[in-house]
Structure 1
Amino acid sequence: MGGPDGDGEYRAYIGSFTSGGGRGITVAAVDRVTGGLSPLAAVDPFANPSCLTLAPDTGVLYAVSESERGAAGAFRPGADGLTPLGPPVAVGASGPTHLSLAGRRLLTANYASGSVSSLAVAADGGLSGPPAVLTHRGSGPDADRQEGPHAHQVLPDPGGRWVLSVDLGTDSVRVCALDQATGELRAHSDTVLRAGSGPRHLAFHPGGDVVYVLHELEPQLTVCRWDPVSGSLDALSEVPVGLDDVPEGVRPCPSVVAVSADGRFAWAAVRGTNTLVTFSLADGAEKPRPADTVDCGGIWPRDLVPDPSGRRMYVANEWSGDVTWFSVDRASGELRRTGSLAVPAAACVVFG
């Protein structure tokens, strides 16, 4: 079996909500030429493995259990599917929605508890506790969604020195320092964004000094300047997302932002309108310009992921239960739908 840049097929791993009828984690072969997905196996290790990440060095797959008793698990991919590397490990918080690797630590953003957790990663890729937990404080003006902190994403900066967490409940992005020995997360700085905007997800430009923060409660993209030396994030401008021709009674709810590896384009998925927005970065990384909007091919696009080649984009449409893929126009960044695979309650896609 070839890798993403070789011949033949490689793998896609699709997380889903078991509470919504999902099968757990679906393993699919990816045809390198066509981009088509062919399901190989499905494993149901625990409730709601809604977010996945793959270690680039060991090939180990990690998943959250987005449940009241939040946990994370590690799996070794193989010819027959996935082999657990031990039992799931508690993250010491409720409702983990996102995870990422930072050195020898696995980080989770815990939406229900409004916190970030850190677990130790062993040499074989397995996980161990107890978790180190940093709880956010604060609230926002939206009484229904911002009664308290709701950490939605956590990831290290490109240099690996800092950890950034996006909090929908407090309208902020927090920067922390991570102690690799103990797993302790120490608060460093807090960038407060527009009140009530509900930041959900961010992505770095490959240049490393520009960050795009996507908001769920107000359909906008905030462009920020990132200083990796001081660990400071400063908001520069706001760009509307998905505001054209919105049907009456429909509320746009952006979910995820992605940036091309060459830094020429960015894309955002918008639930409610069920659209994908292409941004041109031809005017500079700090000046994204909406260039095109297409239908997502389903309902409620929760994840949006370029494949390793950059030639295709994959969308996990949660409510319609599918992963749909698009070809990417290399000149314009525009997307054209080319195929789809039924995956009930699809929530996340990673490649390896």
Structure 2
Amino acid sequence: MAGTTARDGRRWAYIGSFTQAGGRGLTVAEADGATGALKPVYSTDVVPNPSYLALSPGGDVLYAVSESDEGAAAAFSLADPARPEPLGAPVGVRGDGPTHLAVAGARLLTANYGSGSVSVLPIRTGGLLGEPSAVLPHRGSGPVSDRQAGPHAHAVVTDPSGRWVLAVDLGTDSVWTYALDPVTGDPVRHGETRLRPGSGPRHLVFHPRGDRAYILNELTPTVTLCRWDAATGTLEPAGEVRVVPPGVETACYPSAPVVSADGRFLWAAVRGHDSIATLALDAPGDHAELRHTAGCGGHWPRDLTAHPDGTVLYAANERSGDVTWFTVDPDTGIPAPAGSIAAPAASCVLFA
């Protein structure tokens, strides 16, 4: 139900932030139905550093990582979508610095950056979280000594078929694939896809058709285009494209990719360059061309999210402390600034 209209006809956005950097924790904002403009209505800091958020399949429970040295995950009831209520206390994930999470059937999975692992938490009746049933460690390293001395799982994503989980590891320059056991629902290691050494993969997003995947790299300002075979759980790199123009000398750290609902465009937020890149995809989704870069409206865009109707993009600008939104030209895909709200240490935007 992610991206559907709330029961009373209103649309809600949930903003995560770093409380240790002055963030409000979890903020709820009402989204204008015509313009996509956000209006904050509530916030709670009951969970420290809820830096990334995910919804249950029914849209009635909101999950958050608590990104800290001793990481945790938390659940919130959305019985009142304007005022999320905690469902029990946060549960430790037995991993350090969880940065991302995903719901896979009756499991919540977290990507633990600090410890380079994926944790598996059972989802109980009503959305409550149980203690981790498994922690899946990654192994390996990369050539960038200060960032890749060991594994750093940064994102965990379920594929559109619902049969697989892909964990993106910045430290090992690879994507780890897990099969979801059809009986137990637990993830079982299936394979590892190696990417270019030193690329530092951070996040992954699927083409709406489900047979292509795009991996945004953090240590080089590029996106890796991949073919995805859901029948065999095979990820095949097919090319790499820059997300900043040639000649850019600023240190760039891409953060979050978004693909348009029609599969024509890929957008990427780039920290340091503080920009949103617009790339045009060909019909098969195998090739991309950088068409435009625009300012993100602030500093250090940690997350980029599309409105469910696809007409607005939202950048969570962590260091300038705002969420800025952009209207998207339907023909060119180029975003134009349309408004912003204050959101200290913003790290994530999620619609429900």
- TM-score, normalised via structure 1 length: 0.95
Deviation at 1:187, TM superposition (A): 1.5
Deviation at 1:177, TM superposition (A): 1.7
CA distance in 2 between partners of 1:268 and 1:44 (Å): 29
| Partner secondary structure for residue 133 of structure 2 | strand
CA distance in 2 between partners of 1:79 and 1:211 (Å): 31
| Partner secondary structure for residue 20 of structure 2 | helix
Letter paired with 1:9: R
Q: Deviations over 1:197-239 (max 9, x none)?
A: 1000111001111111110001111111111111111111111
* Aligned residue number for residue 138 of structure 1: 140
Distance 1:184 1:284, change over 3 A: closer
* Aligned residue number for residue 22 of structure 1: 23
Distance 1:216 1:275, change over 3 A: same
Deviation at 1:123, TM superposition (A): 2.7
The worse-fitting range, judged by mean Cα deviation, of 49-58 and 179-188 is 179-188
CA contact (8 A) 2:254 2:268 kept: yes
1:188 to 183, 187, 190: 190
CA contact (8 A) 2:12 2:81 kept: no
Q: Deviations over 1:273-323 (max 9, x none)?
A: 000011112453111111111000000000000011111001100000000
* Aligned residue number for residue 268 of structure 1: 268
| Partner secondary structure for residue 19 of structure 1 | helix
CA contact (8 A) 1:107 1:117 kept: yes
Residue 312 (structure 1) aligned with residue 300 (structure 2): no
Q: What does 1:182-331 correspond to in 2, within 5 Å?
A: 184-244=186-246, 246=248, 248=249, 250-331=250-331
Deviation at 1:6, TM superposition (A): 9.2
Distance 1:6 1:61, change over 3 A: closer
| Partner secondary structure for residue 223 of structure 1 | strand
CA distance in 1 between partners of 2:182 and 2:212 (Å): 25
CA distance in 2 between partners of 1:5 and 1:178 (Å): 30
* Aligned residue number for residue 40 of structure 2: 39
* Aligned residue number for residue 68 of structure 1: 69
CA contact (8 A) 2:6 2:12 kept: no
| Partner secondary structure for residue 128 of structure 1 | coil
Distance 1:91 1:83, change over 3 A: same
- TM-score, normalised via structure 2 length: 0.95
CA distance in 2 between partners of 1:182 and 1:7 (Å): 36
| Partner secondary structure for residue 150 of structure 2 | coil
* Aligned residue number for residue 154 of structure 1: 156
| Partner secondary structure for residue 186 of structure 1 | strand
| Partner secondary structure for residue 333 of structure 1 | coil
| Partner secondary structure for residue 75 of structure 1 | strand
CA contact (8 A) 1:4 1:308 kept: no
| Partner secondary structure for residue 141 of structure 1 | coil
Letter paired with 2:172: T
CA distance in 2 between partners of 1:325 and 1:348 (Å): 13
CA distance in 1 between partners of 2:243 and 2:169 (Å): 19
CA distance in 1 between partners of 2:182 and 2:41 (Å): 36
The worse-fitting range, judged by mean Cα deviation, of 119-128 and 225-234 is 119-128
CA contact (8 A) 1:51 1:348 kept: yes
* Aligned residue number for residue 11 of structure 2: 10
* Aligned residue number for residue 95 of structure 1: 97
CA contact (8 A) 1:17 1:24 kept: yes
CA contact (8 A) 2:4 2:308 kept: no
CA contact (8 A) 1:257 1:267 kept: yes
Letter paired with 2:293: T
The worse-fitting range, judged by mean Cα deviation, of 119-128 and 280-289 is 280-289
Deviation at 1:18, TM superposition (A): 0.7
| Partner secondary structure for residue 130 of structure 1 | coil
Letter paired with 1:290: L
CA distance in 2 between partners of 1:129 and 1:159 (Å): 27
Deviation at 1:68, TM superposition (A): 1.1
Deviation at 1:43, TM superposition (A): 0.6
Letter paired with 1:136: H
CA distance in 1 between partners of 2:285 and 2:269 (Å): 19
CA contact (8 A) 2:264 2:283 kept: no
Letter paired with 1:345: A
Q: Taking every aligned residue pair, what percent have the same amino acid on both sides?
A: 55
Distance 1:240 1:3, change over 3 A: closer
Letter paired with 2:241: V
Superposition RMSD on alpha carbons, in Å?
Answer: 1.7
Deviation at 1:183, TM superposition (A): 5.8
